[in-house]
Structure 1
Amino acid sequence: MTGREKRATDPADATLTEPIEIGGVELRNRLYRAPLLECAGNGPDAVETYIDELEPAAESGAGLIFQGASIVTESGGCAAPNMTRVHDPAFVDRLSALTDRIHDHGSRIFIQLAHGGLRSMSLWHSEYRTRNPEEGQLAVSEPPVQLRAADRAGLIDLDPDVLSTAEVYDLAEAFGRAAGYAADAGYDGIHLSGANMGIIQQFLSPYYNDRDDEFADGVRFLLAVRDAVREHAGAIPLVTKVPAETAAPPFVRTRLDRDDAVTIAERLAEAGYDALVPVECSVYWDMSLIRGAYPDRAWAAEELRSEYAAVFGSRLRARAVSLLNRLQARQFPAEPGWNADLCRRVRERVDVPVLCEGGLREREHCEAVLGGPEPAADLVGLGRPFYAEPRLPARLLAGKRALCESCNNCTVPQATGEPGRCHTPRIVRRRARLEREGAYSSE
């Protein structure tokens, strides 16, 4: 049965509150918390941090929770401060306290597995590089000429370690082992970080992948990961993001277009991936990932200026990043469901659930993505709004709009290691008032 034949039997107007399955795991509704940076690390308080961050979404009605990008290797690979590593089975076993709490509320939790590759902190974070002078970046191939030029100009610090064929298989095995640890800890599924300039996107992208072995076909890496996950974690549901690099700068001539993304999605669905998350992004880690306003309050925060200087190497460089941030805010304004068109194209070609996220703030927007004569997706997710409202599902499912204004003041401080939280006072005050009024009760 083809994807199109299966879709012909779908309900014409699926709603947000209808249950759905991913790889045999039943979800009570079609609303999910998209992966975010929880900044929990691996310290003694990591598990409690995750519970504090993720339990409110389950308690207030989200059908599915995605724990944010967790690094599968013992060293390197972190794209931001305070990311969690999941290479250690003893640590991951402690996370069963989190999965139990999520299940107590009738929700499911998938863990997102990741590795930054070239995007790792040693590339861009000056203070981290000073503390870890020997650490470089795993690379799919020799870095693109534009990154080499930026390195020569002193804007970044390239130290690429191009993976051999054997090392690629070892990396896929690391994903598989982490998936096995997660399954043992009670996670309901695995989500691969296939975009945001992580190493999976680097394998898929012709901008980064100039290999001459079997992994010149970047999908082969995802097939190797699939095999490793199946070996270590059995039939646990397996989901991945699928990138289309449509937001790449004009000087990038070789990239993934929408047709490429659809083809990749078809191959992954046929290969046994249980759900797909198509996203439009860039070849770089830029504001195409967090579309919206220029975060003026975050950049102007006096208490963070010295930290920005330490991160980017100087106050002058921090100001240069801020200026680039301002220009990109004009290029990538927030739009409700900005990935919906790509999701719709993918959904027409595959017979597994398609997940849509990006700019959704109202139940009306969510229902429009799920229903109508040509639905774009089978589940819808929100990310940054959870920084402003940890118990957002209670209000969204009741038909209320998320408080988040896509101002992005929550994102820039995370480069310094700040936890993900709303930094916009009027929104913080509104949430406090709603809490007093009982607006987040799921009763």
Structure 2
Amino acid sequence: MSPRLTDPLTIGGLSIPNRLYRAPLLECAGNGPGAVDTLISELEPAAESGVGLIFQGATIVRGEGGCAAPGMTRVHDPEFVSRLGELTDAIHDHGSRVFLQLEHGGLRSMETWHAGYRAEHPDIKQLAVSRPPRSLRLADRLGILEYDPQVLSTEEVYDLAADFGRSAKYALSAGYDGIHIAGANMGIVQQFLSPFYNRRTDEFGGSLTNRVRFLAAIHDEVRERAGSVPLVTKVPAETGSPAVVRRYLSERDAIEICRACEAMGYNAVAPVRGSVFWDMSLIRGEFPERAWADERFAEGYEDAFGAGWRAVALANRIHATGFDFEPAWNAGLCEEVRKRVSIPVLCEGGIRGPQIGRVLGTGADAVGMGRPFYAEPRLPARVLSGERAVCENCNNCTVPQVAGARGVCRTPSVLAKRGELVRRGAYER
């Protein structure tokens, strides 16, 4: 029989009370005095309303550089991470589990694309797996991006893996139940995996077997420093890449990476389709018209992209036409992975409710939702009862984050639906 959403799941020996998880999102909490309170206010409602597992969104393993967006939290400092015990206690009080997602942006970091950040931090170089690909160097010459990369030596690759391990150790001490490696969304782990980015000639480059060695190095560092803590990673297929990109990760590659992760000792994988670029293949759905037109964020957009930020909005509009919303768009890939591994397969991307039974039946062992939590922080109270998320896939929640704004729903029709549900008591357990 196919598992039900309300059935428990075990990941790396840890019992998860049900098979619904909050996928990693940008909490925009930073590291300031109010960071812990912000994280609690963002994540506790999901636990309080019954979600089985929460993946806290990408946190950066180093104290300088590496942030892919404004407001990301850094977890290199054990004193700061120890304060996150207040967050893990709050989540555990409701019976949920929480994993910390670890990340470094590499060439996708703000020191590449955010004009204001570059001006304030002119000495920060991007960590790079290899020399940036030709198309990115062209974007540099055109002034769209700015590259001054520090290509990692072999020794520096191991040092970076050790930073992941150290942050995992701090997280375990703070009460986190597991670790999630941000292996997709164009962060540095994906850059090691991808033949588009990785042109190295040492043990971390060349064949797919070599390109997965950075994930193996991270695994070994986490195990050495944090023991048998449950360990999960995203695994990318770059099938949404533009036609001009000839070297990318195929679905077959993604399946082989998942098999390699199981052999290394990872306890679960989350296969996702995307691109070699940070683009609409990640979120799909409508062009975020309202967000780009909102004058409250115009100053932030200009700070991020320069005076020509409206050209960026136009490019976003054009690109959105190629990625209409597709329910459960990663389910097919997850199904193929699930046939070839014995560890749990986690599926996210376009899951809004009606697809859950089908996905759990064939494609995955657990299902995750991300952006719908921006619209409904207490979403599990309804989804666990078989209802559908009110999210309309308009993406108006995402673009303001480049201006440092919180990830919240700003679409009146969706907010009206949520208001009616609140009045009806739909979010009470």
SS state at 2:117 partner: helix
CA–CA separation in structure 2 for the residues paired with 1:202 and 1:239: 18
User: Aligned letter for 2:364?
Assistant: A
Q: Mapping of 1:163-174 within 5 angstroms?
A: 163-174=152-163
How well do the aligned residues superpose, as a CA RMSD in angstroms? 0.7
Percent identical among aligned pairs is 63
- Equivalent residue in structure 1 for 2:321, among 327, 330, 347: 330
| 1:249 counterpart residue number | 242
- Equivalent residue in structure 2 for 1:365, among 352, 355, 360: 355
Q: CA deviation at 1:65?
A: 0.3
SS state at 1:84 partner: coil
CA–CA separation in structure 2 for the residues paired with 1:295 and 1:242: 27
Q: CA deviation at 1:193?
A: 0.4
CA–CA separation in structure 1 for the residues paired with 2:295 and 2:404: 16
**1:268 maps to 2:258:** no
| 2:345 counterpart residue number | 354
User: Aligned letter for 1:148?
Assistant: R
| 2:406 counterpart residue number | 419
User: Aligned letter for 1:329?
Assistant: A
CA–CA separation in structure 2 for the residues paired with 1:421 and 1:94: 25
SS state at 1:32 partner: strand
Return structure 1 stretches of 4+ with deviation > 3 angstroms: none
Q: Mapping of 1:380-399 within 5 angstroms?
A: 380-399=367-386
Q: CA deviation at 1:429?
A: 2.3
Q: CA deviation at 1:432?
A: 2.1
Q: CA deviation at 1:334?
A: 1.1
- Equivalent residue in structure 2 for 1:192, among 174, 177, 181: 181
- 5+ residue gaps, structure 2, are none
User: Aligned letter for 1:204?
Assistant: L
Q: CA deviation at 1:414?
A: 0.1
**1:129 maps to 2:122:** no
- Equivalent residue in structure 2 for 1:141, among 118, 127, 130: 130
Q: CA deviation at 1:323?
A: 1.3
Query: What number of residue pairs does the alignment pair up?
Result: 425
| 2:273 counterpart residue number | 280
Q: CA deviation at 1:36?
A: 0.1
CA–CA separation in structure 2 for the residues paired with 1:215 and 1:267: 14
Q: Mapping of 1:152-191 within 5 angstroms?
A: 152-191=141-180
**1:344 maps to 2:331:** no
Q: CA deviation at 1:436?
A: 2.2
Q: Deviations over 1:19-54 (max 9, x none)?
A: 010000101110000000000000010001010000
Q: CA deviation at 1:74?
A: 0.8
Q: CA deviation at 1:335?
A: 1.1
| 2:311 counterpart residue number | 320
CA–CA separation in structure 2 for the residues paired with 1:86 and 1:188: 16
CA–CA separation in structure 2 for the residues paired with 1:171 and 1:289: 25
| 2:106 counterpart residue number | 117
| 2:30 counterpart residue number | 41
SS state at 1:112 partner: strand
TM-score, reference length from structure 1: 0.95
| 1:410 counterpart residue number | 397
CA–CA separation in structure 2 for the residues paired with 1:307 and 1:274: 40
**1:222 maps to 2:215:** yes
| 1:86 counterpart residue number | 75
User: Aligned letter for 2:236?
Assistant: P
TM-score, reference length from structure 2: 0.98
Q: CA deviation at 1:14?
A: 1.0
CA–CA separation in structure 2 for the residues paired with 1:128 and 1:204: 27
| 1:436 counterpart residue number | 423
* 8 Å Cα contact 2:300-2:404 kept in structure 1: no
